[in-house]
Each structure stands twice: as structure tokens, then as C-alpha cells.
Amino acid sequence: HEGIIAVEGIVGEMPHPLNKERIPGCTYSHPQIASIGLSEVQAGERGEIKVGRFPLLANGKAVAVNDTEGLVKTIFDASTGALLGAHMIGPGVTEMIQGFAVAIGLETTEAELMDTIFPHPTLSEAMHESVLSAFGRTINF
């Protein structure tokens, strides 16, 4: 993406600004690690937040494939409901983080994420459960 912005500048176009908070970070290890946006500490320094956590141990797909090590954490602005950050550890999270990248890019709120339907059984359901957890509405934990 940074390369595209550089080329746009070189050819005289008006490149759009790069928001580094919207760049997902991925660590290809076991378990995988992925994050986007603000950390819990960074978000807390900016104002009141709500934090959701969901362990993969409570996710049906993770149990079915016997890979339950990990969790999903989501961080929201308490007053606006804006998703400020998401952090994930576990199988497939380097693929799943894109869902939160889109949500942050589109300035999605917790209400919109809570109303999103996730397929069952999938690892991505842990993303939904983490959102629900931030607002005291978890289903499977």
C-alpha cells in the first residue's frame, strides 16, 4: 500500500494519506498473532474504552480442530462505539484480521458489528464474541 502511495506521488496524482493505525500487523508463528489499531493502553490514554475478550477455548471450531490456544480482544470508544483496535492470537488470525481492518476502515460501530452474522462453526465467530463481550452480551462464554 505504501508503494501505491509512492507511485501516485511520483506520477503527479494526489495520493491519499496513509493512516498507520489502519495497517494490520501479522506475526507468522505458532500461534499466529495479528493486530490492528490502538492497543488497550493507547486507547485508554485517549478516553474511556470498553474492552472485549474471547478465548478460543470457547470457540466450537477451535475445539473441533483441537487448536484452542489463543484469544480475540477488541477495544471500543465507550462514548461513540467506534472500534479502536483488535488483537488476536491463535490459528488463522493473520487471515481473520482483515475483517477488523475493514471494520476500522469503514468506521464501523459496535452496534453494526454486533448485528453482523458470522458463519457457524468458524474461528471468525470468536471475533463476534469478542465484540459482544465488550458490551456484556457474549453467547458462548
Active site residues: 120
What is the rounded end-to-end Cα distance, in angstroms, of the chain? 38
Cβ proximity of 51 and 73 under 8 Å: yes
Query: What is the Cα–Cα distance from 52 to 75, expressed in whole angstroms?
Result: 7
Closest CA to 96 of 40, 49, 31, 141: 31
Phi first, then psi: give them for residue 140, nearest 5 degrees: -110, 20
Cβ proximity of 102 and 124 under 8 Å: no
